[in-house]
Amino acid sequence: MIRRDSPSGNDVLMSDDHTSSLRYMRRLKISVAFFALLCCCTVPAAQGQEQTAAPGMQGEWVRVISPTETAEIVAQKPAFKIEFLRPFNIGTLVILLDGADITQISKVTETGIEFTPVMVIQAGTHTISLSATDKEGLQLQRNITFRSRHTKAFDEAYMSNEASLVYENVFGKPETVHTTPHSRLEGNLRVDTKIRDKGWQFTFNTNIRYLDQDIPVIRPFKKGFDAANWLFTGLYTKESLQLRTNIGDVQINETPYTVANFARKGGIFELVYDRFSFKAFSVMTEQVFGQRGGTGIEGNTDRHLLGVTGGVKLFDSKAELKAIYATGEDTGNSFNISGASGIKKGDVLGLVLNSDFFSNKMRTEFEADFSKFDPDLSDEFGSKQDKAYKIKAGGYLDSFSYEAMYEYVGRDYAAIGSQGLPRDREGFSMIGGTAVGAHAVNVALSRFHDNVRGDELFPRIDSYQGTVDYSLNSIPNLPLGINYQKSIQDSTREPSGTSPLEIDTDTLSGRVGYTRDKFMINAMAAYSLMNDKTQGNNDTTSVTYAVTPAYNAPGLSINPNLTLNQSKNHVSQVTTDTYTVNLDLRSRFFKERVSFDVGGTYLISKANNGSLDMRNLNANFRLSYNLQAFLKKIMKPSIGVRGTYIKITDRINPIANRDEFTLFLVLATVMPFSF
Amino acid sequence: MRRTHILALLILLLTVFAAGTSQAITVAVSPGTITAGQSSTITIGSTFSGIPACTLDVSFGDGSSSSVGLGTCTSIIGATFVYSCTATVGHTYTSPGLKTIQVTHNPACSLLPAPPDPARTALTVNCPPLAVTTSASLPPSRAGEAYSAQVQASGGQAPYAYSIIGGSLPAGLSLSPSGFISGVPSIAGSYSFEIRVSDSCPAGSNSIQQTFTIVVSPPAPCSPLSIVTPSALPDARVGNPYAAQLQASGGQAPYTFSAPAEALPPGLNITAAGTITGMPSTAGTYQFPVIVADTCPAGPQTANKKFSIDIRPQPSLVTVTPVPSFFSIPRGQGSSAGVTHQFTGSPSTNDRIISPSGSFSVGNEIIDINAASLSALIRSGKGQVAETIIIPVRVIERALQRGTNRFTYERIFSDGGISAVSIINFTITTDAGAAFDIKRIGLSFDKGKAEATVERNHGNLRAYADIRFTGSGLLQGYWEVDGRILSTVNQHLKYGASVILQTPGIPPLPTFEPGSHSLRFVITNPEPAMALPSLVYFVTQDDAAGKPADLKLLSPVKDAAINYGPAYFEWEKPEKASFFLVQYFDRTDAGPFFSAYTNSPSYAVPDIILKKHFSPGSKYFWKVTGFDSGNNLIAESLFRDFSLR
């Protein structure tokens, strides 16, 4: 496990992964993404206009046969054909399409060039740039600009759908199992629609869900049809103006002190004009599953969060000033969030100034926020006002990265859109890191205290933390790393009758990995001691060992995982050991017609005082046969069996024992269809 | 009337002749006897020597009077200057009795009449005839039911007096002197009796008789009699005074309760009114029958019912100890505290004790009430009950408002005899100083979403748990999908802040089964008082593109410094790769500034591109992606850095 402190002071726990960026894309998404890169290099020009040759050209050397330079081409993959008019050094020819070199994938002969894009080209203006040198060494250059659109009516229009259906019927199950239905039918229709023409663009994405089974379903599931998620986006772009509307499952992410990572049902309206930006939003504060609450847009704060933001970019976009205001009411509980009960209501106003005058060498961030928050509307106490500040500077200097931050969050500071934010803290943190050759070192230091108002009824608790992380990559395919963190928590100014607090925590972890071809193995060990230095002496220790070998090849993927977690309470002298063995196996046979997948966990938990002795085995498997060959490409059906097995042996509490195996017949299919 | 006048004149003449020249007032009334309400005519004669200016005052004898003129005056023949006057006046008498009519001269008369003056006469006014107005058939009655009837008379002179002069009233009824018959008849039958009515006429009492009949029907049957008090009487305790009232319904009150004395618990007895009273002396469970009898006129009824009563032994001392008895909670937010109330008493104590509510207090002042009831069963002196105390924000704020960071939570357990008090102490502190507790759990997929739809065998599905906590301690829990434990978590958390945990890469979230799946992060320590949230993800039947294989870069090596021109890049060719995309970056977190497509596993940057996009001495990154003939991504390399000399 790698631990990294985020700028807001939160710990972020990330798992090891040897591939730092892993992406899985569908065909259409690949084409849009990759050719969007091509389009970023497009040089806007009048439709169908040729650009004059660069200085040095001596007469025409190529003639464009297609695309027709005066017409707009209606095609998703417009082919182009160019004829050479005179000889030149073929080896020096470079062909760029929207700035990307396609020379090697074009068909180049002595007489000309033919090229048909292998993927769909985004509608719009494109430029083919040809450059070469002639026999005399003179530079030859020619640019051809053309415009393409996918349909006659619209620049781009498509509707991509995929219907997925799964039917399960129980072969056999224990009579004691009452939560598993005898039969279950579930389906999903994914719809992706896009229409784009000139400056306008509309997209609509949704997943329509269907569920039926012979026993009642548990929240948040419900029977029948439902829109699991949907999003409508309208976009208009013209020169410096951009208007965007998002309605449906939207996300608002401003700052950690105002609205952070707030994904809900509602609407966002954005306007960007030149350096200025404006946004208004209205979303439900409750996270709902399925279609409930309409669009989620309301003009009042009753169970909603309303807000506006306004920003302006200054100094050639090297600085940005932004104001954020949000007001709303929330119960604090949704199907994916559990918190304190009581209806909360609050307003927050934030002012942010970001700058980057030195090209990433030093970025600065200043933020001031003011909140008014009532944690429970039902009592006689009203809302309380408070403030939060942040000053941060950071950047990259050659191979060195750094960041320093001062943060103040008031005692009563809270925001509806960011309810996980820790408050009543003040302090600073510094992070620095460098990579020299195969060595990389990162150091983080922080010091915070609470009771920022110095209330005499409460103690002040100072928290210090230092982290050092070292990585070594000198041995190929064998990355090594070690991490040490020291935390000190110490209370002062304790009021009479309040026990002091003094806790030191030391955490040491090491990691090593090895990758060879399709095989990979990672090992990790971590030791953590929380030393309670008060009279209570409530020390705890946690030790974790994890080994994760993996084999990934086309048609076979095996990912086992072995973990030992040991925790010890030094007061009671109780040690609890938890051994966990996981297996994730995926395999394809017979030209991928047969698939066999297994996922299982075997867990042993024991305590040395006899209070816990449990074994838990839980496994799922699926064996299916792909029937697509029989139905051509209309749909992709499969037939198979699925099984779930759970065995719990609790030697302390035998009443919790279970031994249940359930077998299902599974019929599934998927039908993609597009327009 | 004419005859009257003639007669009056004759009388006058005779009087005058007989008297010679005498002067007098005479008064006569006709008729001399009338009935109240009738009129009578009064004739007044007077003699004067001359014709005076004079009026005569008439008193009618019933309290009224009048002044009349002399009437017609004529001279008397043979008498000089002697005149005889005659006047008449009528008067209606309304009250019976003997009336004396008197006439005298008015003192203002100019001449005085001859005596007698005044003159008087008598009139008898009789009462109207007496009659009984009540029907001879009086309203019927029913034995056993209250009855009343009024006999009325008219005429004569009230008051009337009623008496029975023949026959007899039904047994149970009586006649008052005012004619009111009342009582409760007890025997059915038809009864005739004669009643005399006498009035109070001043002229002489009159009376009249009439025979009446009353029919008395047999009594109506009574509704069924029953004892309505529940069979299980309230518990009693040895040595404590006891009282329980039994109730009956139906039949006819009054009721009489009884029970066999040997069946009642020792020390208790039952009154006729149905009160079980006394001081029980022996513990145990007792059952006994109770009989009730009514007074139904149709015939007495009885009913019986079996009752039970638990007599508890003498209370013994029970103590309660809350575990734990002290909590540190953070300010500014609601909290919950799990506590077990452990009871200890003498081994003979077997009881159920109840606490109807708990109270939060600062000193002796109650600042909030928890209305949830709690009960505990004590067996052989031992018992316990668990409670999750919810401390709302208002309790914390009210304590702080009173200038203190401490308050108590108190529960009083009792069963009427035993009383035990459980007190838990709370200290309000900061987030970092509070007990290790989970305050908020938020689960999400990428971009904060609570729902995800992915293809089958999607290998990059990640979920996050945003946990807000107070205090410091060892967090223990596990990720669970559809009830299957995926991986366990053991991590020390510090400072009362927040932490974001992520599902592990291996094992990944299972995506080989199409359909809906539910994901949770279950925290086992500290055990949260709130319900655990969940996420939902749906796996479609369509397979995700396989994980791209690693594409190995050959040259230049990592961090190599290569010549400014030509710049040659080489990599391994994976199986099935049809073409490649090589990309160049200024930074790994930015998009590429130049791309190139190649068919072969190598690429030489053309000079024209080198001069346009690359600068000597700068550091760059490159990356290669491989595609198959179907344009599917099948291999991808890592970023590798290089610089140009």
Contact criterion met (CB < 8 Å) for B334 and A19: no
Q: In 3D, which of B509, B628, B630, B515 has the Cα closest to residue A624? A: B515
- Closest to B71 (Cα-Cα) out of B58, B84, B90, B57: B84
Chain B CB contacts of A424 below 8 Å: 332, 430-431
3-class state of residue B573 by DSSP: coil
Same domain, B146 and B197: yes
Cβ–Cβ below 8 Å for A421 and B440: no
CA–CA gap between residue A308 and residue A311 (Å, rounded): 10
Residue A496: the pLDDT is: 83
Query: What pLDDT is attached to residue B167?
Result: 94
Compute the average pLDDT of residues A499-503: 90
What region does B636 belong to: left with phi over 0, alpha with psi -120 to 50, or beta? beta
Q: B619 and B514, same structural domain? A: no
Q: A59: which DSSP letter?
A: S
| pLDDT score, position A31 | 43
CB-CB contact of A128 with A97 (8 Å) = yes
Q: Identify the sign of the CA torsion A80, A86, A91, A94.
A: negative
Report residue A290's pLDDT band, with 50, 70 and 90 as the boundaries.
confident
Q: Compare all CA atoms of chain B with the CA of A207 and give the residue at the minimum distance.
A: B453
- One-letter amino acid at A619 equals A
CA dist B28 and A595 (Å) reads: 148
Q: How far apart are CA B292 and CA B225, in angstroms?
A: 8
Residue B414 distance to chain A (closest CA, Å): 31
Same domain, B96 and B47: yes
Residue among A103, A497, A670 whose CB faces B542 most closely = A670
Report CA-CA distances (Å) from B224 to A10, B142, B186, B228, B251.
79, 20, 21, 12, 5
- The position carrying tokens 């000399």 is B645
Q: Higher pLDDT residue, B521 or A36?
A: B521
Which candidate, B183, B299, B306, places its Cα nearest to that of B252? B299
Residues B344 and B306 in one domain: no
The answer for residues whose C-beta is within 8 angstroms of residue B6's C-beta and 6 or more apart is none
Question: Cα(A427)–Cα(B484) distance, rounded to whole angstroms?
Answer: 42
Name residue A621's amino acid.
Answer: F
Residue B32 sits in the same domain as residue B96: yes
Residue A38 sits at the chain B interface (C-beta within 8 Å): yes
- Say if residue A181 is preceded by a cis peptide, omega within 30 of 0: no
- Of the residues B504, B527, B543, which one is the last residue of a structural domain? B543
Lowest mean pLDDT among A71-75, A313-317, B241-245, B626-630: A71-75
Cβ separation B397–A166 shorter than 8 A: no
- Residue B496: band (very low, low, confident or very high) from pLDDT cuts 50, 70, 90: low
Please count the residues of chain A. Answer: 675
What is the residue whose two structure tokens read 């329509």?
A208
C-alpha–C-alpha distance, residues A245 and B297, integer Å: 90
Does A286 lie at the interface with B, CB-CB under 8 angstroms?
Answer: no
Buried b (16+ CB within 10 A) or exposed e, B455-477: bbbbbbbbbbbbbbbbbbbbbbb
Interchain pair B405, A457: CB under 8 A: yes
Of residues A1 and A628, the one with the higher pLDDT is A628
pLDDT band at residue B529 using 50, 70 and 90 as cut-offs: confident
Instruction: Judge whether A292 and A222 are in contact, CB under 8 Å.
Output: no
CB atoms within 10 A of CB B176: 11
Q: Which CATH number characterizes residue B396's domain?
A: 2.60.40.10
CB B420 within 8 Å of CB B413: yes
> Under an 8 A CB cutoff, do A578 and B458 touch?
no
Indicate whether B114 and B181 sit together in one domain.
no
For residue B169, pLDDT over 70 is answered with: yes
pLDDT of residue B3: 58
Contacts of A131 in chain B (CB under 8 A): 608
Asked if B453 and B519 sit in the same domain, the reply is yes
Q: Please tell me if residue A584 touches chain B, with a CB cutoff of 8 Å.
A: yes
Specify the amino acid at residue A413. Y
The C-alpha torsion from A223 through A227 and A229 to A233, rounded to 10°, is 180
Question: CA dist B93 to B37, B67, B69, B90, Å?
Answer: 5, 17, 22, 10
B28 and B122 both lie in a single domain = yes
Model confidence pLDDT, tens digit, residues A661-673? 999 999 998 888 8
Q: What residue spans of B510-640 are helical by DSSP H? A: 607-613
The answer to whether A346 contacts chain B (CB < 8 Å) is no
Residue A505 and residue B494: Cβ atoms within 8 Å? yes
Listed in sequence order, the residues at least 6 apart from A295 whose beta carbon sits closer than 8 Å to its beta carbon are A247, A248, A265, A266, A267
What is the pLDDT confidence band of residue A11, given thresholds at 50, 70 and 90? very low
Contact between B345 and B317 (Cβ < 8 Å): yes
pLDDT surpassing 90 at residue A118: no
Question: Which residues are paired to A480 by β-bridges?
Answer: A472, A512
Nearest to A278 by CA among A241, A232, A239, A328: A241
Q: What is the average per-residue pLDDT within B331-344? A: 91
pLDDT higher than 90, residue A18: no
Domain that holds residue B271: 226-312
Each residue of A516-551: pLDDT tens digit? Answer: 878 989 999 999 999 999 888 889 999 999 999 989
Q: Determine the residue type at B379.
A: R
Which has more pLDDT, A170 or A674?
A170
The per-type count for chain A, helices as H runs and strands as E runs, is 1, 39
Task: Say what the pLDDT of residue A630 is.
Answer: 73
Among residues B217, B242, B260, which one ends one of the domains? Answer: B217
Task: Looking at the structure, tell me whether residues B122 and B135 fall in a common domain.
Answer: no
Q: Which residues lie below 8 Å from residue A367, measured CB to CB, with a gap of 6+?
A: A255, A257, A350, A351, A352, A353, A388, A389, A390, A391
The CA distance from B542 to A596, in Å, is 15
Average pLDDT, chain B: 88
Average pLDDT over residues B459-463: 88
Domain total for chain B?
6
Please tell me the number of Cα atoms within 13 Å of A420 on its side-chain side: 26
pLDDT at B127: 87
Find the distance separating the first CA and the last CA of chain A, reported in whole Å.
46
Q: Which among B439, B587, B631 has CB closest to A119?
A: B631
CB contact under 8 A, B510 and A94: no
Half-sphere exposure of A153 toward its Cβ, with a 13 Å CA cutoff?
A: 3
The total number of residues written for chain B in this structure: 645
**Is residue B21 located within the same domain as residue B110?**
yes
Entry pTM:
0.68
Give me the sign of the Cα torsion angle B256, B260, B261, B265.
negative
The b/e string for A187-226 (b: 16+ C-beta within 10 A; e otherwise) is: bbbbebbbbbbeeebbebbbbbbbbebeeeeeebbeeeeb
State ipTM: 0.83
**B9 pLDDT more than 60:** no
CA distance A598 to A618: 11
With contact defined as beta carbons under 8 Å apart, do B422 and B325 qualify? no
Instruction: Identify all chain A residues contacting B493, using CB atoms and an 8 Å cutoff.
Output: 11
Tens digit of each residue's pLDDT (9 = 90 or more) over A135-191: 888 889 988 888 888 888 888 888 889 899 999 999 887 877 778 889 999 999 999
d(CA A345, CA A382): 10
What is the number of other CB atoms lying within 10 angstroms of the CB of residue A71?
Answer: 11
CB half-sphere exposure, A665, CA atoms < 13 A: 6
CB neighbours (10 Å) of residue A557? Answer: 21
**CA A568/CA A539 separation, integer angstroms:** 8
In this structure, the answer to whether residues B119 and B138 fall within a common structural domain is no
CA distances from A355 to A363, A397, A399 (A): 6, 16, 21
* d(C-alpha A446, C-alpha A459), whole Å: 20
Q: Which of A502, A422, A386 is nearest to A6 (CA)?
A: A422
> In the sheet where B180-183 sits, what is the strand order?
B147-150, B180-183, B173-175
Of B428, B476, B596, the CB nearest to A567: B476
pLDDT value, residue B329:
92
**Average pLDDT of chain A, as a whole number:** 86
User: Would you state the pLDDT for residue B416?
Assistant: 65
Whether A24 and B547 lie within 8 Å, measured CB to CB: yes
Quick check: A491 and B533 CB within 8 A?
no
Interchain CB contacts (distance < 8 Å): A and B: 384
Residue A218: is its pLDDT beyond 90? no
- pLDDT, position A45: 38
- Would you call A103 helix, strand, or coil by DSSP? helix
Tell me if B257 sits within 8 A of B246, measured CB to CB: yes
> What is the rounded distance in angstroms from the CA atom of residue A196 to the CA atom of residue A202?
6
> Could you tell me the two tokens for A355?
């700058």
Domain boundary among B394, B429, B464: B429
Of residues A131, A335, A378, nearest to B608 (C-beta): A131
Based on the fold, state whether residues B489 and B380 are members of the same structural domain: no
Q: Which among A33, A31, A162, A644 has a CA at the least distance from the CA of B543?
A: A162
Taking CB atoms and an 8 Å limit, are A459 and B429 in contact across chains? yes
State the nearest Cα–Cα gap between B358 and chain A, in angstroms.
19
Residues of chain A in contact with residue B603, where contact means CB-CB under 8 angstroms, are 101, 104
